[in-house]
Chain A
Amino acid sequence: MTMVWMVLVSLLTTAVASRADESAPQFNRDIRPILSDNCFACHGFDPKHRKGGLRLDVAEGAYGTGKSGEVAIKPGQLEASAVWKRITTEDADEAMPPRDSHKSLSAEQRETLRRWIQAGAPYQRHWAFETPVKAEPPATPELARLPNPIDRFLRARLAREGIGPSPEASREVLIRRVSFDLTGLPPTPDEVARYLADESPGAYERMVERFLHSPRYGEQMARHWLDVARYADTHGLHLDNERSMWPYRDWVVKAFNRNEPFDQFTVEQLAGDLLPEPTQDQLVATGFNRNNVTTSEGGSIDAEFVFRYAVDRTATAVQTWMGLTAGCAVCHDHKFDPLTLKEFYSLYAFFHSAADPAMDGNISLTPPILKLRTPEDDARLAEFDGRVAQSEARLKEAYRAVVYTDPATLASPPPPQDVETIWADDDIPAGWRISASSGSEPSFVTAGAVKPFSGSRALRRQDKGLAQDVIEAGPGPMILPQSARLVAHVYLDPADPPRAIMLQYRTGEWKHRAVWGDEDLIEWGRKGTTERSHQGPLPAAGVWVRLEVEAAALGLNAGDRVNGFALTQHGGTVFWDKVGVKGRVDVTTDPRRSYLAWIGQHEGKDVAAFPEEVRKVFKETTSGKRTAAQEEVLREHFLVRECADTRVVFDPLLSAVASWRKQRAEYDGAIPATLIWKDLDQRRESFVMERGAYDRPGDRVHAGVPAALPALVAQGTNAPTRLDFARWLVDPRHPLTARVTVNRFWQQFFGLGLVKTAGDFGSQGEPPRHPELLDWLAVTFRESGWDVRGLVRLLLNSDAYRQSSRVEPEVLAKDPDNRLLARGPRFRLDAEQLRDNALFVSGLMVDHVGGKGVKPYQPPNIWEPVGFVGSDTRDYRQDSGAALYRRSLYTFFKRTAPPPFMASFDAPNREQACMRRERSNTPLQALQLMNDVQHFEAARALAERMMIEGGATADDRFRFAYRTVLARLPQPVELEEVQRAFERHLIRYRGSPDDARRVVLAGASKPSTHLPAPELAAYTLVANLLLNLDETVTRN
């Protein structure tokens, strides 16, 4: 392994800014962001793009003498520092940052730099690469009484800012906040009542505890992780076909519910396959890195996509666990963070040998996959196996009992006779398949204007262009007799005759065709050969005509096995009936009757249609030189499967075997399966890809980790594995994983992370607002055994979380994003929560955990106008019944056309890992919450609840609605407002009962019939109003 890593920012901590002096700029907090944004692109870590040999990211670079002979930064000496001169000069040629960079420093930034240089220009290693240290929480007498260390850190900072914390929010607000945060749903009125009634100390903590152990906790927590994991139900590129990945989603729910320690959660997802004797769950977990988008677009170049998938998986793992934006280093050394091009590809080497193909095949289960068998499944499959074995034994038994004499060996064999075999008449034989190439489904019609030629039905097809019915044989092919003539009966509609008709036969391929009428119109096969043999003009229309073609004229010989035929036409209306073959049968030479004749036909040949062992014997042996065992192989095959005279004995037994096999296969096929990770047996060699181009491999690299981070110790003697990598991520010495993880959870509950750029802990990211708190949490989390539920409990039990969110204008002006947590967090519900809330409070929600994605209401034409014609997710087929009311976590997610309720409310499209959702506020959201049938039906259902459960008076019913939706009672003014609107709606709908009926019929569920429509309609509009309140759509 190459050990010549870039020497990094080690040994840089020449001085650390004094804590006591808060006014002195700190390098990490105050200086690095300025330098990173304005200088590092040319004077940073990346040597290729470094200008003038100067680097300002490390002290020795900045303090050293540059090519120009100047010293960039002379600690404590402003005038001797070239940097200072350059950022203050008026001379445009000298000024830094240069004009063409479009960067400039503000006066404030210059002032900060000035103070820093004067204070000795102390450097710090980038904070995120230092191992976090668990500082003692501030313990001034005032703070020491706070039980939760989180509050001690936050309050100490608030005290410095001169801002006081907010009082605790009301209990109604708190329970709704906690309930949404831990279950994604509002509390029920009963849960609220229980909490309000509990006046003993610890009531809040007990309430939190109840929600922490709700089975919905896992669903809510999983939702956030699925954004990170870029989970979806389609492949994402090109056809964007369906992908069976939902068992992974269900695994995430389970993992949170059983509070799987986060280190285990990490290892299982990145390397579950490498654990000793991995469990089914551990393998399902490896689906994490099968969630990336894949393609099967025709024309794609495999190498390009193998490369892209590995890059995606590397970048996702690095961003998820290390909070670094590795994507930059795909093409060049990272300009801002210590990640070289070569180091990126060393990480990539961990993921480069995935066994999944470059092309996903447009199938839902692109290998490697895992079948999720339950013990019950095992039992059922064993039962099927038994049935298969039993039916095979019967077949064997019958074979032993059969008595056969080859007619060719008889002293006086029967004379030859003509025989006609029918392949299709009123129907096709059982087990065969008929389909249409295009247009309408195949249709057998009974006598109408045209009487069938034979029996009671004939096959009819009408088309303007090329069209056909294709019939494929079941288990036994049709074997052509001697002097075979292919037969079909046809009737052409005189009012609508075709321009050409064609009979086609398939042996291995479709290349035997007879055509009548225009011989150029149907272009298949080479004209004038057996591939397209012209038989003359179209037969007479208006009568049934028997078509007969010598099989030899189409290149077909006695004994050939026909396994399909097609009845083809160009335009017109055509009826077909009684299709088959006629031939002369001489039992002494007919390979379907005489064993010797059959042997003679195939000996020395390689017949692909036979099973391998039969094929082998024919290929390798000649008569008289076969062993008894070889002879027996042939004889058994002949009698059981080929001989016409034993069909009556063996066909039923064969079909029993086939039927059990089929049932087994169907059962097996219905067992859910999911994409998992496996490495190729033969690992790929990995190379630095020059400029990120898949076809420009440079130096060979080996799996390894960046030098700026702790060394990776491989378990074995060989090169480090993915498992080593995963364990390295959760090693106590790793400075990033715990920080990045606690920060993401903090973000989940407080709205913004302590590091706002949750996906970027590098120098371009924002430094933490409360670095000591972040580190304290990170270490505490790790020391707790990566106890996620424990961490969540810790966050929610803080005073900071429990504060009222009310904000005064002066605090808002000072801290608009609530970074100081002087108030409680208040933000709009997430996409899934908005929909789930409506379903829940209306009583429509169907609480079923897990399973394949469902397709609830969706306006027409979301998928269709964008979908590829051949895609299996082109047409949205809405589900019905319970599936309409499942939690949003279970909604089928098509990446190229996400569900509108997700897309409109800032859900990512899951094409890339997403560390933080935006929270927009748009008119399209307003339209959706007011008018989407899902929401309006929920309003109707809530209105029904108001009328049925809410009490006798309108006021009671409004109170019921407020309790149900907002977990509180309305104030008198609010009641008046609602009442006023209600009365106006009531007058209106009493005057327009038709409109009232239309209102109450919203959605697929039916309203109670005994409720008067005008009243229900008026309550529906009130419910619609309540479901659109700012307070309702906000988790306060």
Chain B
Amino acid sequence: MNPLTEYQVQQTRRQFFGHAGVRLGGLALGWLSASGAMRSPRALAASSQGAVHPALPGFPHFPARAKSIIYLHMNGAPSQIDLWDYKPKLKEYFDKDLPDSVRMNQRLSTMTSGQTRFPVAPSRFRFAQHGQCGRWVSELLPHTAKIVDDIALVRSVHTNAINHDPACTFVMTGSEVPGKASIGSWIAYGLGSENSDLPAFVVFTPAFPSTGNGQALYHRLWGSGFLPGRCSGVALRGVGDPVLYLQNPDGVGAADRRVMLDALNRLNQRTYEAFGDPETQTRIAQYEMAFRMQASVPDLTDLSKESASTLSLYGPNVAKSGSFAHSAILARRLVERGVRAVQVLHRGWDQHDNLPTALKNQCEDTDQPTAALIQDLKQRGLLDSTLVVWGGEFGRTVYSQGRLTEENYGRDHHPRNFCMWLAGAGVRGGMVYGDTDDFSYNIVENPVHVNDLNATLLHCLGIDHQRFTYKFQGLDQRLTGVEPSRVVKEVLA
């Protein structure tokens, strides 16, 4: 063996059997250090040495309050008129045609473009003022109403797309056409993650009420697109293994796996010595991380150590795997463990008809756990470093789709304005931004394009969206696209 190779081999052995985690091929060999236990939330923040998910050099671009993001995506488009955008004057317009001066012949979806009338459907739900900020909130959100002082409500979000597939793809990837990277994967790519035993970006797709009209979800909403595959969101599943293939096969225990892995590592080490391919060492590290995940994921999903008061905060479904409440408490547990990005995609918000019944059920499913998440994070001091986002892909029309009665109506897609809210790290709680006309049909003040919103989210995490690029197809790709967009500083503390 020549001296150089000999040196390399020794180095490797030292790394392999030693205790210090050393970066090799982008990954760590820190597998002999204690693992599985919960880490103090931000203990590792300072050091990317030994991180399995290292940040890009120079990231974050500037100091930021938010270390993690939890994105609650209400898929299908919740009705802003029935939840947040209080329009008392609409009562007078019940069943009257939406004035042409308001509609201005704007583009409609073909589900209602053939309607002969556009009768105004005021919300049948009562609104009341809440919190010190006096925010108007619908009776459908009694729990969220209690945390309005922590959230910044944006009433003037608007988007390009009028149908679900392109609109969801747009809000999540900054492009209506499939193929781009999701916001979660961008964040994981830039900032990495502080936890070496869990993925950097975790996704939930919880169950939703049977009355909800469930649109499809797409892998691309959490996929990595052109970014490296490791940045892709990992689905924590409600049925079967929480992480795909986490469980050893039937009849194989952790000790059996350890025996196999020890032999595997030694044999792979020989391969490394024979060929010198750094990928081999990365592979050794990845098998070890897989082994650690077999312990850390069950630890993550084990709620037995949560206090009764915490559990009750999230409501009756918290223990039900695959429920929104369960996903919400796991989201907290994930950011607590230093996971960078968590996305909960809750379906069923597409109320073309029977809106009052279905929307009520959707809110009953999500309202309490959503408020609980904010309160729980706050109690633990995590809200200061966690950004929480709530919203859908577009809004809904003020006019009824189909038959309108006092009690019952439906609403079509409305990309021109909708409500989203932000809470937590760096967000100015208790404020409202942007306004719409009396029909919640046009923005009259401070429009916020989806790209502006995404620029703002990145900003909260310490990323300059202009500088955050990835070269693909000859372009410096950005989450926020090529058109100019801005950080909505007004909603930030």
Q: Please report A residues at the B interface, Cβ cutoff 8 Å.
A: 100, 102, 236-240, 293, 295, 297-302, 308, 312, 319, 325, 327-328, 331, 336-337, 695, 757, 759-760, 762-765, 805-810, 812, 826-828, 859-861, 864-869, 871, 895-898, 900, 903-904, 906, 909, 911-912, 918, 920-928, 930-933, 936, 973-974, 977-978, 980-981, 984-985, 988, 994-1002, 1017, 1021, 1024-1025, 1028-1031, 1033-1034, 1036
* B378 adjacent to chain A (CB < 8 Å): no
Cross-chain contact of B243 among A861, A927, A977 (Cβ < 8 A): A927
11 A–B contacts, CB within 8 A, in A order:
A299-B109, A328-B475, A337-B474, A807-B276, A896-B216, A897-B219, A925-B286, A926-B287, A927-B243, A1002-B249, A1025-B267
Known A299-B109, A977-B263, A1029-B264; contact A931-B289, beta-carbon cutoff 8 A: no
CB of B473 within 8 A of chain A?
A: yes
B15: Cβ under 8 A from any A Cβ:
no
Question: Does B223 reach chain A (CB closer than 8 Å)?
Answer: yes
Give the most central of A300, A327, A864: most B CB within 10 Å.
A300
With A861-B239, A866-B216, A999-B249 known as contacts, the answer to whether A764 contacts B277 (CB < 8 A) is no
Q: Note all chain B residues with C-beta closer than 8 A to A764.
A: 471, 474-475
Q: Smallest CB-CB separation from B250: which chain A residue?
A: A998
Does residue B279 face the partner (Cβ distance < 8 Å to A)?
yes
Could you tell me if A922 and B474 are in contact, using CB atoms closer than 8 angstroms?
A: no
Identify the closest chain A residue to B212 (Cβ).
A869
Asked if B19 CB lies within 8 Å of chain A CBs, one says no
Residue B205 is within 8 A (CB to CB) of chain A in the complex? yes
Question: Is there an interface contact between B290 and A238, defined as CB atoms closer than 8 Å?
Answer: no
Determine if A325 and B4 form an interchain contact, defined as CB atoms under 8 angstroms apart: no
Flag if B250 contacts A924 (CB, 8 Å): no
Question: Quick check: A299 and B290 within 8 Å, CB to CB?
Answer: no
Name the residue among A757, A906, A1000, A1021 with the largest chain B CB count within 10 angstroms. Answer: A1021
Q: Which residues of B contact A328 (CB under 8 A)?
A: 473-475
Determine whether the beta carbon of B238 is less than 8 Å from that of A931: no
Q: Which B residues are CB-close (under 8 A) to A1025?
A: 260, 263-264, 267
Known pairs A896-B218, A926-B290. 15 more at Cβ < 8 A? Answer: A295-B163, A297-B165, A298-B111, A765-B474, A865-B205, A865-B207, A866-B219, A912-B178, A921-B27, A930-B245, A981-B260, A994-B251, A1021-B259, A1030-B271, A1030-B284
Q: Check if B131 is an interface residue, CB within 8 A of chain A.
A: no
CA of A805 to CA of B162, assembled, Å:
53
Q: Would you call the interface of chain A mostly helix, strand, loop, or mixed? A: loop
One of B122-130, B142-150, B228-236, B299-307 at the interface: B228-236
With a cutoff of 8 Å between Cβ atoms, the chain A residues found around residue B255 in the complex are 988
In the bound complex, CA of A936 to CA of B248 (Å): 10
List the 3 closest A-B pairs by CB distance, nearest first.
A998-B251, A299-B109, A764-B474
Q: B312 in the interface, Cβ–Cβ < 8 Å?
A: no
Contact A1030/B286 with A299-B413, A301-B110, A927-B246 known, Cβ cut-off 8 Å:
no
Query: Which residue, B239, B253, B267, B482, has most C-beta atoms of chain A within 10 A?
Result: B267
Instruction: Indicate whether A920 sits within 8 Å of B229 (C-beta atoms), given known contacts A806-B274, A930-B245.
Output: yes
Q: Which residue on chain B has the smallest CB distance to residue A915?
A: B473
The residue in chain B whose Cβ has the minimal distance to the Cβ of A302 is B110
Q: Which residues of B from 261 to 291 have beta carbons under 8 Å from A?
A: 262-264, 266-268, 270-272, 274-280, 282-284, 286-287, 289-290
Instruction: Tell me whether B251 and A923 are in contact (CB under 8 A).
Output: no
Q: Which residues of A contact B290 (CB under 8 A)?
A: 923-924, 926-927, 930
Asked whether A240 lies within 8 Å of B286 as measured between CB atoms, the reply is no
Closest B residue by C-beta to A824: B275
Task: Give the docked Cα–Cα distance between A965 and B466 (Å).
Answer: 49
Asked whether any CB of chain A lies closer than 8 Å to the CB of B38, the reply is: no
Cβ-defined contact, B276 with A806, below 8 A:
yes
Which residues of chain B from 177 to 233 have a CB within 8 Å of any chain A CB?
177-179, 199, 205, 207, 213-220, 223, 228-230, 232
The reply to whether A921 and B5 contact each other, CB–CB distance below 8 Å, is no
Given contacts A299-B111, A866-B216, contact A1030 B268 (CB under 8 A): yes
Could you say which residues of chain A place their CB within 8 Å of the CB of B257?
A: 930
Question: Do A918 and B229 form a contact, CB below 8 Å, given A805-B277, A924-B234, A926-B290?
Answer: yes
Contacts of A871 in B (CB 8 A): 216
Is B308's beta carbon under 8 Å from chain A? no
- Within the complex, which residue of B179, B228, B260, B471 is in contact with A920, where a contact is CB–CB below 8 Å? B228
Q: B240 at interface (Cβ–Cβ under 8 A)? A: yes
A867 to B244, Cβ gap below 8 A?
no
Best-surrounded residue of A328, A922, A928, A973 (most CB of chain B within 10 A)? A922
Report whether B240 and A860 are in contact in the complex, using a CB–CB cutoff of 8 Å.
Answer: yes
> Can you name the residue of chain A whose Cβ is closest to the Cβ of B226?
A918
What are the residues of chain B within 8 A of A936 when measuring CB–CB? 249
B205 partner residues in chain A, CB cutoff 8 A: 865-866
A974 engages B219 (CB within 8 Å):
no
Residues of the A chain whose Cβ atoms lie less than 8 Å from the Cβ of B178: 236-237, 293, 909, 911-912
> Contact: B111 with A921, CB < 8 Å?
no
Q: A102-B466, A299-B110, A923-B293 are in contact. Are A760 and B239 (CB under 8 A)?
A: no
Q: What residues of B have a CB within 8 angstroms of the CB of A293 in the complex? A: 178
Q: Which residues of A contact B279 (CB under 8 A)?
A: 826-828, 921, 1030, 1034
Q: Select A826's contact among B243, B264, B277, beta carbons within 8 Å.
A: B277
Inter-subunit contact B228/A988 (CB<8 Å)? no
Asked if residues B260 and A308 are in contact (CB atoms below 8 Å), the reply is no
- Shortest CB-to-CB span from A823 to chain B, Å, is 9
B276 touches A933 (CB 8 A): no
Closest B residue, CB atoms, query A936? B249
Whether B259 lies near A981 (C-beta < 8 A) is yes
Instruction: List the B side residues contacting A904 at CB < 8 Å.
Output: 244
Least Cβ distance of B429 to chain A in Å? 32
Is B240 touching A859 in the complex (CB atoms < 8 A)?
yes
Output the residue of A336, A931, A1002 with the most chain B CB within 10 A: A931
Q: Which residue in A297, A869, A1017, A1024 is a CB contact (below 8 Å) of B260?
A: A1024
Does B380 lie at the interface of the complex (its beta carbon under 8 Å from any beta carbon of A)? no
CB distance from A66 to the nearest CB of B (A): 26
Taking CB atoms, residues of chain B closer than 8 Å to A807 are 275-277
Report whether B245 and A865 are in contact in the complex, using a CB–CB cutoff of 8 Å: no
Q: Is the CB of B244 within 8 A of A859?
A: yes
Q: Is B135 an interface residue (CB 8 A)?
A: no
B365 within 8 A of A: no
Assess the A299–B240 pair: CB atoms within 8 A: no
Distance of A878 from chain B, by nearest CB (Å): 13
CB neighbours of A298 from chain B (8 A):
109-111
Distance in angstroms between the alpha carbons of A1021 and B471 in the assembled complex = 43
| Residues B237 and A808 in contact, CB atoms below 8 Å apart | no
Cross-chain contact A861 with B237 (CB below 8 angstroms): yes
With the chains together, A762 CA to B107 CA distance in Å? 38
Q: Which of B436-493 contact A (CB under 8 A)?
A: 464, 466-467, 471, 473-475, 482
Residues of B contacting A868 in the complex (Cβ-Cβ under 8 angstroms):
214-216
Report the minimum CB–CB distance from B280 to chain A (whole Å).
5
Would you call B252 an interface residue if the criterion is a C-beta within 8 Å of the partner chain's C-beta atoms?
yes
> Does the CB pair A809–B245 fall under 8 Å?
no
CA of A506 to CA of B268, assembled, Å? 72
Query: For residue A863, which residue of chain B has the nearest CB?
Result: B216
Q: How far is the CB of A97 from chain B (nearest CB, A)?
A: 12
Among B220, B229, B240, B289, the one with the most A-chain Cβ atoms within 10 Å of its Cβ is B229
B256 contacts the other chain (CB 8 A): yes
Closest Cβ–Cβ distance, residue B309 to chain A (whole Å): 30
B219→A903 contact, CB < 8 A = yes
Q: How far is the CA of A881 from the CA of B304 in the complex (A)?
A: 42
Query: CB-CB contacts of B387-409 with A at 8 A, as 1s and 0s?
Result: 00000000000000000000000
For residue A171, give the distance in angstroms from its CB to the closest CB of chain B: 16
Residue contact A760 to B473, C-beta cutoff 8 Å: yes
B164 CB–A CB distance under 8 Å:
yes
Q: From residue A300, how far is it (CB to closest CB) to chain B in Å? A: 5
Quick one: given A911-B178, A930-B290, A1021-B260, are A865 and B243 in contact (CB under 8 Å)?
no
A267 to B289, CA, bound (A): 49
Beta-carbon nearest neighbor of A103 in chain B: B476
Please indicate the chain B residues that have their CB under 8 angstroms from the CB of A922 in the complex. Answer: 229-230, 286
Chain B residues, Cβ within 8 Å of A900: 244-245
